[in-house]
Structure 1
Amino acid sequence: MPHPHIREAEAHLAELRAALLAHGITLPSLGLELPSLAASYSAPLVALGNCNQATAQALTAALRKGAAG
């Protein structure tokens, strides 16, 4: 039986991926954490994964820009 929150988690994941892409950022390993899909008592976790230093700097800049409003 599929996880009860998987559609919601996939929608949030797609929104995050689109928001990152709007800033020119791609996290290659972005996805749902597979072990969390086996747990039926909580929503699946989003795995941000690894990125190189340039992507980390771009992500930091986007977050700072957003925080500055």
Structure 2
Amino acid sequence: MMTTTERRRAAAGRVREAEDLVARLREGFAGMGIVLPSLRIDPLSCAGDEPAALVELGRCNLDTALRLSRALEAKGDGRA
């Protein structure tokens, strides 16, 4: 069984990993001309003794959703 200190360290590691991932996503989307203003770590998912550190992709307008869809389709077709 993990001690409280070990659980806290593991939780902090998950939050850092999520922060890094958010930065990578933001950079990757920016490279495709896509901005997701709500991209962040969901703060409620980091609460408690064992946070899940969920990434919130958030809401976006239709133009952004269309560009994201096209980028994913191009990637699937091997064009990106």
Q: Name the TM-score, length of structure 1 as normaliser.
A: 0.88
Superposed, which structure 2 residues align to 1:11-50 within 5 Å? 11-50=20-59
Alpha-carbon distance in 2 for matches of 1:9, 1:55 = 23
Q: Which runs of 5+ in 1 are unaligned?
A: none
Please state how far the C-alpha of 1:39 moved relative to its aligned partner.
Answer: 3.8
CA RMSD of aligned residues (A): 1.7
Give 1 or 2: higher helix fraction: 2
Alpha-carbon distance in 2 for matches of 1:49, 1:39 = 22
The answer to whether structure 1 residue 62 and structure 2 residue 71 are counterparts is yes
Q: Which runs of 5+ in 2 are unaligned?
A: 1-7
Relative contact order, higher structure (CA 8 A, sep 6+): 1
Identity of aligned residues (%): 41
Please state how far the C-alpha of 1:6 moved relative to its aligned partner.
Answer: 1.1
Alpha-carbon distance in 2 for matches of 1:39, 1:64 = 38
Alpha-carbon distance in 2 for matches of 1:64, 1:39 = 38
SS in 1 for 2:50: coil
